[in-house]
Amino acid sequence: MNPHLTSSDITYWTRTDSPLGPLLLTADPSGALTSLSVPGQKGGREVADTWRHDPGPFRAAVEQLAAYFAGELKEFRLPLRTHGTAFRERVWAALDTVPYGATTTYGEIAARIGASRAAVRAVGGAIGANPLLVLRPCHRVIGADGTLTGYAGGLERKVRLLALEEALPAGPSRPL
């Protein structure tokens, strides 16, 4: 244990199985989830030596994720805590408003937060940096032309999540 760490610096972690592969969940000392990563995720987290493995703080998250993947849960009710720039936090809050079974576009997210059309690339960057895959539904954001654009967890996982929610957009450019 690092003697310079305080109790507020502690990160708890656990893994749980899912149809997307093993999910790595992290939480702060209050029990709020701080990240959910999938194997090979661009920008995903890796277990650090200073983290504490403890499945206790994650019971509700594991139960809700299992219900979601079984098609029995449409809205997560979990404490979440992320740290990003004010812009990223606004984008992430906008993601939280996209309902199960629906999709939106990068441009629509930009409009929701009052950003200009020129900010669409920045919105895409903020969405790509979402630390809470699945829980904060960045998989529901698609290109303006209906294409399934990038997903930090991989396009195959994005397709699986949208198929689960019966939200796959129609169109010839959709990867199968």
- Catalytic position from the list 138, 161, 167, 168: 138
Query: Among this protein's residues, is 138 annotated catalytic?
Result: yes
Q: Are strands 104-105 and 33-37 parallel, antiparallel or unpaired?
A: unpaired
158 touches 148 (CB < 8 A): yes
94 touches 101 (CB < 8 A): no
CA gap 40, 72 in Å, rounded: 27
Identify residue 18 by its one-letter amino acid code: S
Sign of CA dihedral 104, 123, 146, 144: positive
Residues that are catalytic: 138
